[in-house]
Structure 1
Amino acid sequence: MKLSVVVVAAGSSRRFGSSKMQYVMSDGRVLLEHSLDIYESVGNIESIKITPVIVVLPPDNASLKKIVEARGAIAKDCPDSHQGMSASIKAGLSYAVSSTTNLEACLIALGDMPYVAPKTIELLINSAQPNKIIIPYQFKADGKSKNGNPVIFGKEFFPEILALQGDKGAKSVLNANPQAQCFIEVQDAGIFQDIDRPEDLKI
Protein backbone atom coordinates (compact mmCIF):
# COMPACT_ATOMS: atom_id res chain seq x y z
CA MET A 1 0.00 0.00 0.00
CA LYS A 2 1.29 3.47 -0.90
CA LEU A 3 0.57 6.52 1.26
CA SER A 4 1.48 10.16 0.65
CA VAL A 5 1.90 12.89 3.24
CA VAL A 6 0.72 16.39 2.31
CA VAL A 7 1.65 19.22 4.69
CA VAL A 8 -0.39 22.38 4.09
CA ALA A 9 1.76 25.46 4.76
CA ALA A 10 0.37 28.09 2.39
CA GLY A 11 -1.85 30.11 4.75
CA SER A 12 -1.71 33.88 5.04
CA SER A 13 -0.84 33.96 8.79
CA ARG A 14 -3.10 36.98 9.34
CA ARG A 15 -3.69 36.27 13.04
CA PHE A 16 -0.01 35.55 13.66
CA GLY A 17 1.03 38.97 12.34
CA SER A 18 3.92 37.69 10.20
CA SER A 19 4.87 34.56 8.26
CA LYS A 20 4.46 31.96 11.00
CA MET A 21 6.03 29.18 8.93
CA GLN A 22 9.23 31.23 8.95
CA TYR A 23 9.07 32.08 12.65
CA VAL A 24 12.44 31.26 14.21
CA MET A 25 12.10 28.95 17.21
CA SER A 26 14.44 28.79 20.20
CA ASP A 27 16.73 26.28 18.47
CA GLY A 28 17.28 28.59 15.50
CA ARG A 29 15.09 26.61 13.12
CA VAL A 30 11.80 27.84 11.72
CA LEU A 31 8.34 26.59 12.72
CA LEU A 32 7.79 24.65 9.49
CA GLU A 33 10.95 22.62 10.08
CA HIS A 34 9.63 21.48 13.45
CA SER A 35 6.39 20.35 11.83
CA LEU A 36 8.26 18.47 9.11
CA ASP A 37 10.37 16.67 11.73
CA ILE A 38 7.26 14.74 12.76
CA TYR A 39 6.60 13.20 9.36
CA GLU A 40 10.19 12.69 8.28
CA SER A 41 10.87 10.64 11.41
CA VAL A 42 8.31 8.05 10.29
CA GLY A 43 9.68 5.64 7.72
CA ASN A 44 7.86 2.85 5.89
CA ILE A 45 5.62 0.97 8.30
CA GLU A 46 5.14 -2.76 7.75
CA SER A 47 3.41 -3.11 4.36
CA ILE A 48 2.86 0.64 3.86
CA LYS A 49 5.24 2.57 1.62
CA ILE A 50 5.37 6.29 2.42
CA THR A 51 6.29 8.55 -0.49
CA PRO A 52 8.33 11.77 -0.03
CA VAL A 53 6.55 14.46 1.99
CA ILE A 54 4.78 17.09 -0.15
CA VAL A 55 4.69 20.60 1.34
CA VAL A 56 2.20 23.08 -0.11
CA LEU A 57 3.61 26.62 -0.01
CA PRO A 58 2.45 30.10 -0.96
CA PRO A 59 3.68 31.13 -4.41
CA ASP A 60 7.15 32.63 -4.84
CA ASN A 61 8.39 31.94 -1.32
CA ALA A 62 11.97 31.04 -2.19
CA SER A 63 13.21 30.82 1.40
CA LEU A 64 10.60 28.26 2.48
CA LYS A 65 11.07 26.31 -0.75
CA LYS A 66 14.80 26.11 -0.06
CA ILE A 67 14.18 24.82 3.47
CA VAL A 68 11.73 22.17 2.27
CA GLU A 69 13.89 20.90 -0.59
CA ALA A 70 17.03 20.81 1.57
CA ARG A 71 15.25 18.22 3.71
CA GLY A 72 14.42 16.01 0.72
CA ALA A 73 10.74 16.94 0.74
CA ILE A 74 8.81 18.22 -2.28
CA ALA A 75 7.82 21.90 -2.39
CA LYS A 76 4.55 22.50 -4.24
CA ASP A 77 3.53 26.11 -4.91
CA CYS A 78 -0.17 26.93 -4.63
CA PRO A 79 -0.97 30.05 -6.69
CA ASP A 80 -4.58 29.87 -5.46
CA SER A 81 -3.70 29.73 -1.75
CA HIS A 82 -5.52 33.04 -1.20
CA GLN A 83 -8.76 31.19 -1.93
CA GLY A 84 -8.49 29.25 1.31
CA MET A 85 -7.31 25.95 2.74
CA SER A 86 -9.28 23.85 0.28
CA ALA A 87 -7.15 25.17 -2.58
CA SER A 88 -3.96 24.18 -0.76
CA ILE A 89 -5.26 20.71 0.07
CA LYS A 90 -6.30 20.16 -3.54
CA ALA A 91 -2.91 21.32 -4.83
CA GLY A 92 -1.08 18.87 -2.58
CA LEU A 93 -3.36 15.91 -3.23
CA SER A 94 -3.44 16.55 -6.96
CA TYR A 95 0.36 16.46 -7.05
CA ALA A 96 0.43 13.30 -4.92
CA VAL A 97 -2.03 11.50 -7.20
CA SER A 98 -0.27 12.55 -10.40
CA SER A 99 3.22 11.67 -9.16
CA THR A 100 2.50 8.34 -7.45
CA THR A 101 1.07 5.30 -9.21
CA ASN A 102 -1.46 3.27 -7.24
CA LEU A 103 -1.67 5.77 -4.39
CA GLU A 104 -4.14 4.36 -1.86
CA ALA A 105 -4.20 6.91 0.96
CA CYS A 106 -3.09 10.43 1.82
CA LEU A 107 -2.32 11.93 5.21
CA ILE A 108 -3.24 15.62 5.24
CA ALA A 109 -1.40 17.62 7.89
CA LEU A 110 -1.16 21.27 8.86
CA GLY A 111 2.20 23.00 8.78
CA ASP A 112 1.39 25.00 11.90
CA MET A 113 1.02 21.96 14.16
CA PRO A 114 4.58 21.18 15.34
CA TYR A 115 3.66 19.35 18.54
CA VAL A 116 2.03 16.18 17.19
CA ALA A 117 3.88 13.10 18.47
CA PRO A 118 5.51 10.81 15.86
CA LYS A 119 3.92 7.86 17.69
CA THR A 120 0.51 9.30 16.83
CA ILE A 121 1.44 9.38 13.15
CA GLU A 122 2.54 5.75 13.27
CA LEU A 123 -0.78 4.73 14.85
CA LEU A 124 -2.76 6.55 12.17
CA ILE A 125 -0.70 5.20 9.28
CA ASN A 126 -1.00 1.64 10.58
CA SER A 127 -4.78 2.04 10.35
CA ALA A 128 -4.87 3.49 6.82
CA GLN A 129 -7.21 1.84 4.30
CA PRO A 130 -8.34 2.88 0.80
CA ASN A 131 -11.99 3.12 1.89
CA LYS A 132 -11.55 4.71 5.33
CA ILE A 133 -10.99 8.14 6.88
CA ILE A 134 -8.64 7.85 9.86
CA ILE A 135 -9.15 10.46 12.59
CA PRO A 136 -7.21 10.84 15.87
CA TYR A 137 -9.05 11.72 19.06
CA GLN A 138 -8.32 12.14 22.74
CA PHE A 139 -10.49 12.22 25.84
CA LYS A 140 -10.34 15.58 27.60
CA ALA A 141 -10.38 16.22 31.36
CA ASP A 142 -14.17 16.56 31.31
CA GLY A 143 -14.50 13.04 29.91
CA LYS A 144 -15.59 14.17 26.47
CA SER A 145 -13.69 13.15 23.36
CA LYS A 146 -12.31 15.63 20.84
CA ASN A 147 -11.10 14.94 17.31
CA GLY A 148 -7.83 16.37 16.03
CA ASN A 149 -5.34 16.41 13.16
CA PRO A 150 -3.80 15.09 10.98
CA VAL A 151 -6.36 12.97 9.12
CA ILE A 152 -5.78 10.18 6.60
CA PHE A 153 -8.13 9.87 3.63
CA GLY A 154 -8.34 6.69 1.60
CA LYS A 155 -8.31 6.97 -2.20
CA GLU A 156 -12.08 6.46 -2.32
CA PHE A 157 -12.44 10.05 -1.10
CA PHE A 158 -9.89 11.72 -3.39
CA PRO A 159 -12.52 12.86 -5.94
CA GLU A 160 -14.52 14.60 -3.20
CA ILE A 161 -11.42 16.34 -1.86
CA LEU A 162 -10.38 17.50 -5.32
CA ALA A 163 -13.83 19.07 -5.74
CA LEU A 164 -13.61 21.14 -2.54
CA GLN A 165 -14.22 24.89 -2.48
CA GLY A 166 -13.64 27.63 0.10
CA ASP A 167 -11.73 27.79 3.38
CA LYS A 168 -13.21 24.89 5.34
CA GLY A 169 -10.53 22.36 4.51
CA ALA A 170 -11.79 18.80 4.11
CA LYS A 171 -14.40 18.99 6.89
CA SER A 172 -17.26 18.60 4.42
CA VAL A 173 -15.78 15.31 3.19
CA LEU A 174 -15.69 14.05 6.78
CA ASN A 175 -19.28 15.07 7.40
CA ALA A 176 -20.50 13.48 4.17
CA ASN A 177 -18.96 10.08 4.97
CA PRO A 178 -19.71 9.12 8.59
CA GLN A 179 -19.77 5.43 7.67
CA ALA A 180 -16.12 5.59 6.62
CA GLN A 181 -14.79 7.34 9.71
CA CYS A 182 -12.36 5.32 11.82
CA PHE A 183 -11.40 6.94 15.12
CA ILE A 184 -8.02 6.23 16.71
CA GLU A 185 -7.58 7.09 20.38
CA VAL A 186 -4.25 8.74 21.21
CA GLN A 187 -2.66 10.34 24.25
CA ASP A 188 -1.38 13.41 22.46
CA ALA A 189 -2.55 16.98 23.05
CA GLY A 190 -0.48 17.95 20.01
CA ILE A 191 -3.35 16.89 17.73
CA PHE A 192 -5.23 20.01 18.88
CA GLN A 193 -2.38 22.53 19.05
CA ASP A 194 -2.22 24.66 15.92
CA ILE A 195 -0.26 27.90 16.02
CA ASP A 196 -2.47 30.89 15.25
CA ARG A 197 -0.70 33.51 17.39
CA PRO A 198 2.83 33.86 18.83
CA GLU A 199 1.51 33.09 22.33
CA ASP A 200 0.47 29.61 21.12
CA LEU A 201 4.13 28.62 20.83
CA LYS A 202 5.94 26.65 23.50
CA ILE A 203 9.07 28.71 23.94
Structure 2
Amino acid sequence: MPEEPEIAALVLAAGQARRFGADKRLALLEVEGRIEPLIVRALRSWVEVFERVAVVLRPGDEAVRGVLSETFADRLRFIECPRADEGMGTSLAAGVAATAEATGWVVGLADMPWVPRAAIAGVRDALTAGAVLAAACRADRRGHPVGFAAPYRAELLGLTGDVGARLLLRRDAEHVVGVAIDDAGIFADVDTPQDLFSRSE
Protein backbone atom coordinates (compact mmCIF):
# COMPACT_ATOMS: atom_id res chain seq x y z
CA MET A 1 0.00 0.00 0.00
CA PRO A 2 1.58 3.35 -1.01
CA GLU A 3 2.52 5.72 1.77
CA GLU A 4 0.45 8.86 2.18
CA PRO A 5 2.28 11.91 0.79
CA GLU A 6 3.91 14.02 3.44
CA ILE A 7 1.91 17.22 3.78
CA ALA A 8 3.50 19.85 6.00
CA ALA A 9 1.52 22.04 8.39
CA LEU A 10 2.71 25.66 8.49
CA VAL A 11 1.33 28.22 10.94
CA LEU A 12 2.54 31.77 10.40
CA ALA A 13 3.13 33.53 13.71
CA ALA A 14 5.72 36.19 12.92
CA GLY A 15 3.47 39.22 12.45
CA GLN A 16 3.92 42.59 14.17
CA ALA A 17 0.36 42.95 15.57
CA ARG A 18 0.53 46.72 15.09
CA ARG A 19 -3.24 47.23 15.33
CA PHE A 20 -3.52 45.22 18.52
CA GLY A 21 -1.10 47.40 20.47
CA ALA A 22 0.67 44.50 22.22
CA ASP A 23 1.73 40.93 21.49
CA LYS A 24 -1.66 39.50 20.61
CA ARG A 25 -0.24 36.00 20.38
CA LEU A 26 -0.01 35.95 24.18
CA ALA A 27 -3.33 37.71 24.82
CA LEU A 28 -5.67 35.56 26.89
CA LEU A 29 -8.73 34.14 25.18
CA GLU A 30 -11.59 32.13 26.64
CA VAL A 31 -13.10 29.39 24.50
CA GLU A 32 -15.42 26.70 25.84
CA GLY A 33 -14.51 27.56 29.42
CA ARG A 34 -10.75 27.34 28.87
CA ILE A 35 -8.61 30.47 29.22
CA GLU A 36 -5.27 30.40 27.43
CA PRO A 37 -3.03 32.47 25.14
CA LEU A 38 -4.48 33.10 21.70
CA ILE A 39 -1.65 31.29 19.91
CA VAL A 40 -2.10 28.20 22.09
CA ARG A 41 -5.77 28.08 21.25
CA ALA A 42 -5.03 28.60 17.56
CA LEU A 43 -2.64 25.65 17.48
CA ARG A 44 -4.84 23.16 19.33
CA SER A 45 -6.79 22.18 16.22
CA TRP A 46 -3.57 21.86 14.22
CA VAL A 47 -1.96 19.36 16.58
CA GLU A 48 -5.16 17.30 16.48
CA VAL A 49 -4.70 16.90 12.71
CA PHE A 50 -0.93 16.81 12.23
CA GLU A 51 1.66 14.86 14.17
CA ARG A 52 4.03 17.82 13.86
CA VAL A 53 3.34 21.48 13.09
CA ALA A 54 5.89 24.03 11.87
CA VAL A 55 5.47 27.48 13.42
CA VAL A 56 7.18 30.48 11.83
CA LEU A 57 8.36 33.03 14.42
CA ARG A 58 10.41 36.19 14.54
CA PRO A 59 13.94 36.01 15.97
CA GLY A 60 13.86 36.60 19.72
CA ASP A 61 10.32 35.27 20.21
CA GLU A 62 11.40 33.39 23.32
CA ALA A 63 8.24 34.11 25.31
CA VAL A 64 6.01 32.68 22.60
CA ARG A 65 8.33 29.76 22.01
CA GLY A 66 8.35 28.99 25.74
CA VAL A 67 4.56 29.02 26.07
CA LEU A 68 4.15 26.77 23.05
CA SER A 69 6.87 24.34 24.12
CA GLU A 70 5.34 24.03 27.57
CA THR A 71 1.90 23.28 26.11
CA PHE A 72 2.72 21.11 23.11
CA ALA A 73 6.16 19.68 23.99
CA ASP A 74 7.76 18.18 20.89
CA ARG A 75 4.72 18.44 18.62
CA LEU A 76 5.96 21.72 17.17
CA ARG A 77 8.93 22.71 15.02
CA PHE A 78 10.01 26.34 15.27
CA ILE A 79 11.26 28.18 12.20
CA GLU A 80 12.85 31.59 12.59
CA CYS A 81 12.31 34.15 9.86
CA PRO A 82 14.97 36.87 10.19
CA ARG A 83 13.16 39.03 7.61
CA ALA A 84 9.72 38.67 9.17
CA ASP A 85 9.29 42.45 9.30
CA GLU A 86 8.98 42.41 5.51
CA GLY A 87 5.59 40.71 5.73
CA MET A 88 3.59 37.52 5.53
CA GLY A 89 4.91 36.49 2.12
CA THR A 90 8.45 36.44 3.45
CA SER A 91 7.37 34.37 6.47
CA LEU A 92 5.58 31.85 4.26
CA ALA A 93 8.64 31.53 2.02
CA ALA A 94 10.79 30.84 5.11
CA GLY A 95 8.39 28.15 6.26
CA VAL A 96 8.35 26.45 2.88
CA ALA A 97 12.15 26.61 2.65
CA ALA A 98 12.45 24.85 6.01
CA THR A 99 10.03 22.10 4.93
CA ALA A 100 11.04 21.93 1.27
CA GLU A 101 10.92 18.13 1.23
CA ALA A 102 7.14 18.17 1.73
CA THR A 103 4.76 17.27 -1.07
CA GLY A 104 2.36 20.01 -0.03
CA TRP A 105 1.66 22.63 2.61
CA VAL A 106 -1.42 23.46 4.66
CA VAL A 107 -0.97 27.08 5.71
CA GLY A 108 -2.73 28.87 8.55
CA LEU A 109 -2.41 31.99 10.67
CA ALA A 110 -1.68 32.18 14.38
CA ASP A 111 -4.25 34.93 14.95
CA MET A 112 -7.17 32.73 13.85
CA PRO A 113 -8.08 30.75 17.00
CA TRP A 114 -11.50 29.60 15.84
CA VAL A 115 -10.52 27.62 12.74
CA PRO A 116 -12.12 24.18 13.24
CA ARG A 117 -10.26 20.90 13.04
CA ALA A 118 -12.44 19.88 10.08
CA ALA A 119 -11.13 22.77 7.98
CA ILE A 120 -7.50 21.84 8.56
CA ALA A 121 -8.10 18.15 7.96
CA GLY A 122 -10.23 18.88 4.89
CA VAL A 123 -7.56 20.97 3.18
CA ARG A 124 -4.93 18.34 4.00
CA ASP A 125 -7.12 15.60 2.60
CA ALA A 126 -7.79 17.58 -0.59
CA LEU A 127 -4.04 17.87 -1.22
CA THR A 128 -3.54 14.19 -0.46
CA ALA A 129 -6.26 13.37 -3.00
CA GLY A 130 -4.43 15.28 -5.72
CA ALA A 131 -5.53 18.92 -5.53
CA VAL A 132 -2.80 21.42 -6.40
CA LEU A 133 -4.60 24.18 -4.50
CA ALA A 134 -7.22 23.90 -1.76
CA ALA A 135 -8.96 26.20 0.69
CA ALA A 136 -11.62 26.07 3.35
CA CYS A 137 -14.71 27.90 2.12
CA ARG A 138 -18.23 28.80 3.15
CA ALA A 139 -20.92 29.98 0.74
CA ASP A 140 -18.34 30.38 -2.04
CA ARG A 141 -16.17 32.65 0.12
CA ARG A 142 -12.61 31.48 0.61
CA GLY A 143 -11.25 31.28 4.14
CA HIS A 144 -8.40 29.59 6.02
CA PRO A 145 -6.47 27.42 5.98
CA VAL A 146 -5.24 27.16 2.41
CA GLY A 147 -3.22 24.40 0.79
CA PHE A 148 -0.55 24.22 -1.90
CA ALA A 149 0.90 21.14 -3.58
CA ALA A 150 4.52 20.67 -4.64
CA PRO A 151 4.15 22.31 -8.10
CA TYR A 152 3.86 25.64 -6.25
CA ARG A 153 7.07 25.15 -4.25
CA ALA A 154 9.21 27.48 -6.39
CA GLU A 155 6.64 30.28 -6.37
CA LEU A 156 6.11 29.97 -2.62
CA LEU A 157 9.86 30.15 -2.06
CA GLY A 158 9.94 33.35 -4.08
CA LEU A 159 7.27 35.19 -2.10
CA THR A 160 8.23 38.50 -0.52
CA GLY A 161 6.50 41.37 1.22
CA ASP A 162 3.07 41.26 2.82
CA VAL A 163 0.92 39.81 0.04
CA GLY A 164 1.40 36.19 1.09
CA ALA A 165 -0.01 33.67 -1.34
CA ARG A 166 -3.23 35.55 -2.14
CA LEU A 167 -2.07 36.40 -5.63
CA LEU A 168 -1.42 32.74 -6.44
CA LEU A 169 -4.86 31.72 -5.21
CA ARG A 170 -6.49 34.52 -7.17
CA ARG A 171 -4.51 33.90 -10.34
CA ASP A 172 -5.20 30.15 -10.35
CA ALA A 173 -8.67 30.28 -8.83
CA GLU A 174 -9.98 27.66 -11.27
CA HIS A 175 -7.62 25.10 -9.71
CA VAL A 176 -8.65 25.74 -6.10
CA VAL A 177 -10.55 22.83 -4.56
CA GLY A 178 -12.99 24.27 -2.05
CA VAL A 179 -13.45 22.44 1.24
CA ALA A 180 -16.94 23.30 2.45
CA ILE A 181 -16.96 24.25 6.14
CA ASP A 182 -20.10 25.61 7.78
CA ASP A 183 -18.21 27.55 10.44
CA ALA A 184 -17.37 31.27 10.37
CA GLY A 185 -14.19 30.47 12.27
CA ILE A 186 -12.46 30.07 8.91
CA PHE A 187 -12.76 33.84 8.46
CA ALA A 188 -12.38 35.15 12.01
CA ASP A 189 -9.05 36.63 13.05
CA VAL A 190 -7.92 38.83 15.93
CA ASP A 191 -6.69 42.29 14.95
CA THR A 192 -7.81 44.34 17.97
CA PRO A 193 -8.45 43.54 21.65
CA GLN A 194 -12.19 43.74 20.96
CA ASP A 195 -11.89 40.80 18.57
CA LEU A 196 -11.01 38.56 21.51
CA PHE A 197 -14.61 38.82 22.66
CA SER A 198 -16.47 38.68 19.36
CA ARG A 199 -15.88 36.54 16.32
CA SER A 200 -15.85 38.99 13.44
CA GLU A 201 -16.54 37.66 9.97
Give the TM-score, by structure 1 length: 0.86
1:104 alignment partner in structure 2: 103
What is the root-mean-square deviation of aligned Cα atoms in Å?
A: 1.6
1:149 alignment partner in structure 2: 144
1:176, CA displacement in angstroms?
A: 2.7
Question: Does 1:3 pair with 2:7?
Answer: yes
Whether the 8 Å CA contact 2:9–2:105 is kept in 1: the answer is yes
2:78 alignment partner in structure 1: 75
Give the Cα–Cα distance (whole angstroms) in 2 for the partners of residues 80 and 201 of structure 1.
Answer: 28
Whether the 8 Å CA contact 2:119–2:179 is kept in 1: the answer is no
Q: Kindly report structure 1 stretches of 4+ aligned residues shifted beyond 6 Å.
A: none
1:126, CA displacement in angstroms?
A: 1.5
Give the Cα–Cα distance (whole angstroms) in 2 for the partners of residues 137 and 28 of structure 1.
Answer: 28
Percent of aligned pairs sharing the same letter: 28
Give the Cα–Cα distance (whole angstroms) in 1 for the partners of residues 181 and 35 of structure 2.
Answer: 30
Gapped regions of structure 1 (runs ≥ 5): 44-49, 140-144
Give the Cα–Cα distance (whole angstroms) in 2 for the partners of residues 33 and 137 of structure 1.
Answer: 24
Give the Cα–Cα distance (whole angstroms) in 2 for the partners of residues 10 and 161 of structure 1.
Answer: 17
Of 26, 32, 39, 2:39 maps to 32
Deviations 1:129-186 (A, max 9, x none): 46510011112xxxxx311011010011011111112101101111232342111211
3-state DSSP of counterpart to 2:107: strand
Question: Does 1:184 pair with 2:175?
Answer: no
Give the Cα–Cα distance (whole angstroms) in 1 for the partners of residues 137 and 118 of structure 2.
Answer: 14
Whether the 8 Å CA contact 1:55–1:74 is kept in 2: the answer is yes
Whether the 8 Å CA contact 2:119–2:145 is kept in 1: the answer is no
Gapped regions of structure 2 (runs ≥ 5): none
3-state DSSP of counterpart to 2:161: coil
1:128 alignment partner in structure 2: 127
**How many residue pairs were aligned?**
187
Deviations 1:85-113 (A, max 9, x none): 0111111111111xxx4x21100100000
